[in-house]
Chain A
Amino acid sequence: MPEAIQPINAQNMKQRIKSYSNSPGSLILAVLVGLAALITVLTLVFILGYILVKGIPNLSADLFQLEYNSENVSMFPSIINTILMTLLSLVIAGPLGIFAAVYLVEYAKKGNKLVSVVRVTAETLTGIPSIVYGLFGMLFFVTTLKWGYSMLAGAFTLAIMVLPVIMRTTEEALLAVPDMYREASFGLGAGRLRTIFVVILPSAIPGILSGIILSIGRIVGETAALMYTAGTVAELPSSVMSSARTLSLHMYTLASEGLHIDKAYATAVVLLLVVLVINWISGRIARKIKKG
């Protein structure tokens, strides 16, 4: 949490009323600002409350059965698919992003041209809408590399999508490691590699983790990028080359078919719970980083 704003003009109630009656414009501004914040918070409370209240009664044991069929649109296969997809994407994007950040912070010299190019491309990647990623994945992984609708194609598409997130957070974490650590390690005769893997990366772990967790949030919530890369088969995959529907895509299918709205509510509850847990964990990590 940022440091508190210290009021240097602390007024009591009487003075405040007096100053507001002298300048009614200020009162209006104060009310507007409070109102806007209230709208923001109430919107969230309403969305969360509505979906949880309507959805929790629909969470039945049937929905967690291993088999998906047209009578029981079980979300269990999709949950497993989501977990597998998340792991696969992170296995691809994690090392890439972390190593890229290591190069940017530990190896590149100041004013290196490559660094600014990498920054610009990472920023561009951040802005690209997920449907464009989806089309690219379809054109490149599915069609050109002939992987077909597969978990692997989906995971690679998502990996490109979360790469800039992991890179940026890792970069910040590495920059936050005091130079003292590096100097001490070099001073003890350690080489560059040893310094990086034994001294610098371990002390940057909380920052790196926060990037990974942000990425998990994006992967779990992603729909458009997966529709034409991983496909929509709602069964457990036999290998990374088989099509697999994740939870968000499952929910979209249920909602747009319109036959199982109650099941869609239940799926929404599960998705929201994942988001809540992710936010809780990242909040804890942020606090830990701040404590140092």
Chain B
Amino acid sequence: MKDVKETIMKYVFLICACASILAVILICVFLFANGVPAIGKIGIFNFLLGETWKPGNDIYGILPFILGSIYVTAGAIVIGVPIGILTAIFMARFCPDNIYRFVKPAVDLLAGIPSVVYGFFGMVVLVPFVRDFFGRQLGFGGNGSSMFTASVMLGIMILPTIISVGESAIRAVPNSYYEGALALGATHERSVFFTVVPAAKSGIMAGVILGIGRAIGETMAVIMIAGNQPRMPKGIFEGVRTMTSNIVIEMGYATDLHREALIATAVVLFVFILLINLLFSLVKRRGANA
């Protein structure tokens, strides 16, 4: 009797372990089954490289949104990566204990703030600031909801990811690297930046890639501050629409081919994310082998 119970529970545990496999399979099947036919109907080149998105006229080209996602993410990298990596270095190698006690929870809090709160903050603070300062005073034009605004916000949002992954990568470097450099007469900064940080390179890269994944998949914060005009991106102070915001904005009322085209947009986004994940595991594996 006891053996039966043991065996049953073993299989219960096994089935639970398979839940995540099942989830991934279901997600792939449902997304691809609903999205790929639309790509076929529209034509893969018309869909991926088409510059016009006019659901009313049955024209579905998502190049503007693909570019929008890429530009906004690139902007987020330009802003978030240097600050993130430098902060990670600070926390791992420069920070005195009594300051660490405040910086660490601050980074955790940044990671915990919901994206809709970030978006709201962007809407009430960043957008007016960009409109008044960059738009009017510096004469860049635009109404504040722009690629630039979204990049700044996303740059802030990916900070905690880059910082925490980077910090643990830097801490994992054996102390002998640092001590060796010091013994050769290098200053503290020189030892950290030219021996410790290069040794943690792949870990830091992994953090950056995770951050890119987060930026490209972010939806709510971007919708609230990027302007969302469905046209080719025109400039960094002009509005832009990303793949994610395109889905959320139009899904509510889309029907037929329009709806399928939106799901196909999600398929493209999903493929982007899978590629980023692949890159992440490659970088991580290379780091583990080195």
**What's the Cα separation between A193 and B3 when bound, in Å?**
10
Do B91 and A9 touch (CB < 8 A)? Answer: no
What interface size band does chain B fall in?
A: 35 or more
- Chain B residues with CB under 8 A of A44: 106, 109-110
Q: Mark B181-208, 1 if CB is under 8 A from A, else 0.
A: 0100001111001000000000000000
Do A252 and B116 touch (CB < 8 A)? Answer: yes
Decide if A198 is an interface residue (CB 8 Å cutoff).
no
> With A118-B17, A135-B247, A222-B114 given, is the CB distance from A279 to B269 under 8 Å?
no
Give chain B's interface secondary structure class. Answer: helix
Q: How many positions in chain A have a CB within 8 Å of any CB in the partner chain?
A: 96
- Chain B residues with CB under 8 A of A103: 13-14, 16-17
Which residue of chain B has the shortest Cβ distance to A47 in the bound complex?
Answer: B121
B54-62, B135-143, B273-281: which lies at the interface: B273-281
Decide if A37 is an interface residue (CB 8 Å cutoff).
yes
- Chain A residues with CB under 8 A of B187: 19-20, 23, 26
Do A124 and B247 touch (CB < 8 A)? Answer: no
Do B86 and A8 touch (CB < 8 A)? Answer: no
**What's the Cα separation between A56 and B263 when bound, in Å?**
40
**What's the Cα separation between A86 and B24 when bound, in Å?**
22
Pick from A39, A102, A279: contact of B105, CB under 8 Å: A279
Do B16 and A275 touch (CB < 8 A)? Answer: no
Decide if B90 is an interface residue (CB 8 Å cutoff).
yes
> With A8-B179, A8-B182 given, is the CB distance from A26 to B190 under 8 Å?
yes
Decide if A285 is an interface residue (CB 8 Å cutoff).
no
Pick from A33, A50, A167, A217: contact of B121, CB under 8 Å: A50
Decide if B159 is an interface residue (CB 8 Å cutoff).
yes
Decide if B124 is an interface residue (CB 8 Å cutoff).
yes
Decide if B286 is an interface residue (CB 8 Å cutoff).
no
- Chain A residues with CB under 8 A of B119: 252, 255
Do A129 and B216 touch (CB < 8 A)? Answer: yes
Do A128 and B27 touch (CB < 8 A)? Answer: yes
Do B20 and A127 touch (CB < 8 A)? Answer: no
Do B14 and A4 touch (CB < 8 A)? Answer: no
Which residue of chain B has the shortest Cβ distance to A228 in the bound complex?
Answer: B251
B39-47, B93-101, B229-237: which lies at the interface: B93-101
B residues lining the A interface (CB < 8 Å): 2, 5-6, 9-10, 12-14, 16-21, 23-24, 26-27, 30-31, 34, 82-87, 89-91, 93-95, 97, 100-110, 112-121, 123-125, 156, 159, 163, 171, 179, 182, 187-190, 193, 210, 213, 216-220, 223-224, 244, 247-248, 251-252, 263, 266, 269-270, 273-274, 276-277, 280-281
A residues lining the B interface (CB < 8 Å): 1-2, 4-5, 8-9, 19-20, 23, 25-27, 29-30, 32-37, 39-41, 43-45, 47-48, 50-51, 54, 95-97, 99-100, 102-104, 106-108, 114, 117-118, 120-125, 127-133, 135-136, 138-140, 144, 160, 163-164, 167, 191-193, 217, 220-224, 227-228, 248-249, 251-252, 255-256, 261, 264, 268, 271-272, 275-276, 278-279, 282-283
27 A–B contact pairs at CB < 8 A?
Answer: A1-B101, A8-B179, A8-B182, A30-B188, A36-B87, A37-B87, A40-B106, A41-B102, A54-B124, A99-B13, A99-B17, A107-B14, A118-B17, A121-B20, A130-B219, A131-B244, A131-B269, A133-B27, A136-B30, A139-B34, A160-B27, A163-B23, A221-B114, A222-B114, A256-B223, A271-B117, A283-B105
The 3 A-B pairs at the shortest CB distance, nearest first, are namely: A129-B217, A221-B114, A36-B86
